[in-house]
Chain A
């Protein structure tokens, strides 16, 4: 029987290489998971055992992978019991990972200007997508990252100038400069070099600065808190742009078995409940908002 879905997820006992804490309860975890590192695509996530005392795993999106070195980087925020226990895990320990899970972002080959918008712990899939676009070198992406707590990296003034944006909006994630990808940061807080406001306001600035033809090349990818994604979906609708969003939901199995992590999706046959784990986490924004 033809069963192409079989053996597509891997359970790996992943050694923790580093576990770095940042302000605002943020952590970046680097673990050794060669199968996941090789097979993950931007938008994929992993289902992690935080601690043997927790009956449920936690879904955490992938920020970076190195297929050559076999590691996976995860960014998460300490918000409850599971992530608190996870934050105590030390380098050298092992952690059970199931992954890579989910339908990835699918950029439209005909659109050359991907606009990536990530907020808070929604930044990782945008970083992953940006790095993959950098490796392909076929498009001219623009990345906007937003956070209400200090960013989990050291923002630096970008060397990639964007005359269409206010000159004082200059801070970027250094990796993006390394990849030659223009990126700007946004926050309601008064962070140096950051746009003071919502990510969608900065995105609007940028979209308006484009001529009609260039704007027609744009496609939006986004991940972040629900109200932010709603605003991104509205922005995309306003400018008539395709938009893919990555969603989050409480999750039990992570393999499509329990239908616990659903979201209502509009289809030609009417609304249906789709599983965020294996049908998502990436959905067309216009179908879920």
Chain B
């Protein structure tokens, strides 16, 4: 049974296929821990046939709209629970 994950992206064109990428995914396994976030290193494909060992990745836009097509994801490694960075970093950069 394939696991299902969810990720958010400002633009689906930003999702790189067939190479190692770092991204945040939400675990959609039913139960009280559903939507748990992980930061992972993974390989993605927009076509599950090209990544048959991959799990299912649902993709939503930065405003939460769902892209109709699911992707495939093969998680290579779970990274640290959180990332280095400054709170409100995007806003601080945008104001420079």
Q: Are chains A and B native binding partners rather than an unrelated pairing?
A: no
Residues on A facing B (Cβ under 8 Å): none
Residues on B facing A (Cβ under 8 Å): none
